[in-house]
A and B are shown apart, each in its own frame.
Chain A
Amino acid sequence: EAGVAQSPRYKIIEKRQSVAFWCNPISGHATLYWYQQILGQGPKLLIQFQNNGVVDDSQLPKDRFSAERLKGVDSTLKIQPAKLEDSAVYLCASSLTTAPTYNEQFFGPGTRLTVL
């Protein structure tokens, strides 16, 4: 079974530029998550989708970050414009459901973003 796919793996941009990350979850997984992992910290949830609806985006900086999950499968996370403090690894994860009892999340390899 294929895992969670993410691209690109690495991205370097200058501040004020825009960038987009793509995620393809495990087939059949209804729930998709985007996390931001700053160096030296644990991952922090940015947004959670259930199918193509947003469940939780309370920690998403909505003035510059946006995410969508059209058709309830692939997802794109965008940053526009990027700031230096956005340098981080962006992890995508998916799970079958949102029920905590079965909420095993499977993580992709991440996209490492460097903002200069």
Chain B
Amino acid sequence: AQSVTQPDIHITVSEGASLELRCNYSYGATPYLFWYVQSPGQGLQLLLKYFSGDTLVQGIKGFEAEFKRSQSSFNLRKPSVHWSDAAEYFCAANDYKLSFGAGTTVTVRA
């Protein structure tokens, strides 16, 4: 069955440190891939998307993601985390409909 997996339920990172969130997908063909962020009480905001082409995708708020076909992965990274990055992050894939992973909660400590 088609699925999106986020192996890490919760990650704690120090402010200024780097962040990497993992995402794996299981689809017959490479779907369109997305990362969304959800702050408490807010809707989902699109950080970046991958359709084709360059495997390193730049997004908003200083985030980037790397698509690796051989590993069926689409990991999200940020070189230096700010306290405002504390939120829940969702990886999603779209072949004919958008399917989400379970999310990773990011806590930023001072």
User: B78-108 vs A: 1/0 string, CB under 8 Å?
Assistant: 0000000000001010111111111100000
Q: How far is the CB of A90 from chain B (nearest CB, A)?
A: 11
Q: How far is the CB of B41 from chain A (nearest CB, A)?
A: 7
Which listed residue, A42, A100, A103, touches B90 by the CB 8 Å rule? A42
**Is the C-beta of B57 less than 8 angstroms from some C-beta in chain A?**
no
- By a CB distance below 8 angstroms, the chain A residues around B102 are 40-42
- By a CB distance below 8 angstroms, the chain A residues around B36 are 107
**B46 adjacent to A104 (CB under 8 Å):** yes
- By a CB distance below 8 angstroms, the chain B residues around A56 are 97
Residue of B nearest to A104 (CB): B46
* Given A41-B103, A42-B103, A100-B32: A107 and B43 interface contact (C-beta under 8 Å): yes
Give the residues from 59 to 116 in chain A that come closer than 8 angstroms, CB to CB, to chain B. 91, 93, 100-101, 103-110
Query: Which B residues are closer than 8 A to A by beta carbons?
Result: 4, 32, 36, 41-46, 49, 51, 90, 92, 94-103
Query: Which A residues are closer than 8 A to B by beta carbons?
Result: 3-4, 33, 40-45, 48, 56, 91, 93, 100-101, 103-110
